[in-house]
């Protein structure tokens, strides 16, 4: 019984160490922009359209940030991950860390585009275009499939 209690405490302490420190939406956008730049350098450096793709992904993130800065953006530091709005009824995973891998391009693509989708769902889900048409989420999904295809089949 004592071994079980000790093991349980050790596991709980380890889980607390893995938690990502709280970030504001602006910090999340900046982190995603850095990851986009690293993705292009690390995995798409030989592609002729690398700079164009980076600009387009950065523009999507800038639009998401601009939408957040309007009145419709939501952020509450007292809510898990700062959002989504408590009025939202959809359940979502609590994995908050944007994953980036210098060696695994597909995992990096999925982590970055997943981070863009999570940002849209958490912080700008009540904004017009996002609420009605899921513009940012759809663009993230499009770029996930496009970059995965380009990586797998060559530029």
pTM flag (> 0.85): no
50-64 confidence digits (pLDDT tens): 999 999 999 999 999
Distance set, CA 10 to CA 13, 14, 20, 103 (Å): 5, 6, 18, 31
76-127 confidence digits (pLDDT tens): 777 776 666 555 555 444 444 567 888 899 999 999 999 999 999 999 999 9
Listed residue (125, 122, 98) closest to 110, CA to CA = 98
Rounded distance, CA 72 to CA 125, Å?
Answer: 8
């Amino acid at each position: 019984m004592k071994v079980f209690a000790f093991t349980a405490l050790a596991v709980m302490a380890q889980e607390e160490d893995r938690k990502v420190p709280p970030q504001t939406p602006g910090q999340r956008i900046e982190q995603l922009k850095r990851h986009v730049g690293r993705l292009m350098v690390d995995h798409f450096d030989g592609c002729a359209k690398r700079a164009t793709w980076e600009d387009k992904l950065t523009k999507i993130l800038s639009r998401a940030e601009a939408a957040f800065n309007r009145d419709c953006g939501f952020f509450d530091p007292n809510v898990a991950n700062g959002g989504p709005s408590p009025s939202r009824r959809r359940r979502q995973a609590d994995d908050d860390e944007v994953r980036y891998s210098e060696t695994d391009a597909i995992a990096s693509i999925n982590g970055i585009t997943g981070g863009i989708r999570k940002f849209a769902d958490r912080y700008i889900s009540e904004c017009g275009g996002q609420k009605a048409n899921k513009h940012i989420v759809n663009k993230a999904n499009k770029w996930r499939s496009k970059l995965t295809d380009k990586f797998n089949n060559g530029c």
